[in-house]
Amino acid sequence: MRIAFRQAASILKKAAHAFLALTVITGCSTTNVPPAFADSSKYAAIVVDANTGKTLFSANADAGRYPASLTKMMTLYMLFEAMRAGRVNKNTPIPVSAYAAAQPPTKLGFKPGQSIPAEAAIMALITRSANDVAAAIGEYLGGSEQRFAQMMTAKARRLGMKSTVFRNASGLPDRSQRSTARDMAILGIALREHFPREFAYFSTKSFVFRGKTIRGHNRLLGRIKGVDGIKTGYIRDSGYNLVSSVKDNGRKVVAVVMGGKSGATRDAHMAELISKYLPRASRRGGSNVLVAARDTAPVPIMPVDLPIAREAPVPVARADIEGISGQGDADDDMAMALAEPAPRPAAAVAVASIVPARNAELPDGVDPVTTSSARLAAASGGWAIQIGSLPSSDQAQATLAKAAAKAGSTLSAATAHTETFEKNSTVFYRARFVGFKTKTAAWNACAVLKKQKFGCYAIAQ
């Protein structure tokens, strides 16, 4: 009898452990929600192994949330891309229009007609989360902030952020501007992989602008070992948000916490997640890390129903709206009137090259901006196929584009992807399609491509 009882108890215990593991993986159970967030409808969190894309922890990760100033991560992604393309350099003056200057705090307090160098603009977004600077960047790169928001949304789709819509460059309140914790993790990984040099900006704690020291809001920098960015955010409807990047002893994770009741509560939960899940991350590194190509082609605009620039409402002063600040972790809520009169007229607004998209879907063919976070995005799967190793990114992308055109519907569910590796001090670019769910599907795709005279073999991921 006792033996039978022990056996039954053991079975129940194992079943309970299995159920608990399942709930952690799927993020569907309220047992994932810490007590401090138990009564919050805004809470969401995720921890992702940035080496592999594996989800280590998930709670409400796919639930719609307001990104608040996490939005500025995409604004910076777009600016970094423009800098890499040669359209902007560190000293390029970004003009501040009357519209941008009218943004509510937190901001630097520019007057219309002044300008800010691109590198200082980067620092202002990362540390002070300046809304006037975010709007100015949007106008500079997109012609108007509304147009820029369409470009941001199109870029989000290309990165695998399926649940994100941007309506402005700052994260100031807009009921239609939505994202998820998972999408923010994808964006964090994409920033890290596509712009490793520029990513160092996210570790900035403070910078000096026109004689004034501007301090940042990310209090985990320097306090939690390995934390090297990324961004905080707050509006009343979102609660306190944070995306953190951590790198320690070969392990890398990107973690997201959304919906904190205070900055301190949010930071404490993020510290707990890092402490618990960083040791579970892989130590993959070097040439095994998937580094994706960036998109240097014109960005198709998603046909999101946005107001045209002349009809867009000018933001009201902070005093008129409670909790409207795009960045709620500020030490004070006053605007920072640091800008001095510009010695000459601001540069004319540069309009980015834009290719309209006829339908809500992006054009068929190769998506050249898929990141290694594709493993995190739904398009990823357990198998990939490789069709070549080329000496340049452009050649790899051209090979992928040609293969996609030849293969037709065979590759409709796959995602084009490049990764680098080094041999004899020379960098090569692997041309791959990822996202095959089974070995058979990958082999079948290779069979089609081989008939079109492409070399091809399947790879388990």
DSSP one-letter string for 42-88: S-EEEEEETTT--EEEEESTTS-B--GGGHHHHHHHHHHHHHHTTS-
- If you compute the radius of gyration of the chain from its CA atoms, what whole number of angstroms results? 23
The tokens describing 423, both together, are 């041999």
User: Which residues does 423 contact at the CB level (< 8 Å), separation at least 6?
Assistant: none
pLDDT of 328 reads 43
d(CA 327, CA 232): 7
* Helix, coil or strand: residue 33: coil
Residue pLDDT tens, the chain, 461 long: 444 444 544 444 444 333 323 323 333 333 467 777 877 889 999 999 998 889 999 999 999 999 999 999 999 999 999 999 899 999 999 999 999 999 999 999 999 999 999 999 999 999 999 999 999 999 999 999 999 999 999 999 999 999 999 999 999 999 999 999 999 999 999 999 899 999 999 998 888 888 888 888 888 988 899 998 899 999 999 999 999 999 999 899 999 999 999 999 999 999 999 999 999 999 864 333 333 344 544 443 333 333 333 333 333 333 222 233 444 444 333 333 344 333 322 222 222 222 232 222 322 332 333 334 444 543 344 688 999 888 887 788 888 888 888 887 888 778 787 777 777 778 788 888 887 888 888 899 999 999 888 989 888 76
pLDDT of 32 reads 67
- Give the bridge partners for 459, in sequence order: 384
Known binder of ligand: residue 231? yes
**Residue 67 in contact with residue 184, Cβ under 8 Å?**
yes
Q: Say how many CA atoms lie within 13 Å of 235 toward its Cβ.
A: 24
d(CA 53, CA 42): 24
How deeply is 14 buried, as exposed, middle or buried, from its count of CB atoms within 10 A (0-12, 13-18, 19+)?
Answer: exposed
d(CA 242, CA 47): 12
pLDDT of 296 reads 47
pLDDT of 14 reads 40
Where would I find the beta strands (DSSP E) of 110-195? 115-117
Helix boundaries (H) for 212-318:
263-277
pLDDT of 66 reads 95
> Hey, which residues are catalytic here?
69, 72, 129
Q: Is the peptide bond before 11 cis (omega within 30 degrees of 0)?
A: no
Q: For residue 226, is it left (φ>0), alpha (ψ between -120 and 50) or beta? A: left
Q: Which residue has the tokens 């990939």?
A: 384
State how far Cα 420 lies from the chain centre. Answer: 21
Where would I find the beta strands (DSSP E) of 276-375? 299-301, 354-356
DSSP letter at 157 equals H
pLDDT of 431 reads 87
**Residue 8 in contact with residue 15, Cβ under 8 Å?**
no
pLDDT of 398 reads 84
* Helix, coil or strand: residue 104: coil
pLDDT of 1 reads 45
pLDDT of 298 reads 43
Q: Which CATH number is 36-320 given?
A: 3.40.710.10
User: Which residues does 290 contact at the CB level (< 8 Å), separation at least 6?
Assistant: 193, 371, 372, 375, 417, 419
d(CA 320, CA 316): 7
d(CA 129, CA 324): 13
Measure CA of the first residue to CA of the last residue in the chain; give whole Å: 48
How deeply is 163 buried, as exposed, middle or buried, from its count of CB atoms within 10 A (0-12, 13-18, 19+)?
Answer: middle
Three-state SS for 196-209 is CCHHHHHHCCEEEE
State how far Cα 202 lies from the chain centre. Answer: 13
**Residue 123 in contact with residue 207, Cβ under 8 Å?**
yes
How deeply is 90 buried, as exposed, middle or buried, from its count of CB atoms within 10 A (0-12, 13-18, 19+)?
Answer: exposed
Q: Is the peptide bond before 106 cis (omega within 30 degrees of 0)?
A: yes
pLDDT of 429 reads 82
Phi/psi of residue 44, nearest 5 degrees: -155, 150
pLDDT of 461 reads 61
User: Could you name the CATH architecture of 381-460?
Assistant: 2-Layer Sandwich (3.30)
d(CA 285, CA 177): 35
pLDDT of 271 reads 94
pLDDT of 416 reads 80
What does the domain layout of the chain look like in residue ranges?
Answer: 36-320, 381-460
d(CA 110, CA 114): 7
Q: For residue 107, is it left (φ>0), alpha (ψ between -120 and 50) or beta? A: beta
pLDDT of 16 reads 38
d(CA 410, CA 408): 6
d(CA 24, CA 331): 36
The tokens describing 193, both together, are 């992989």
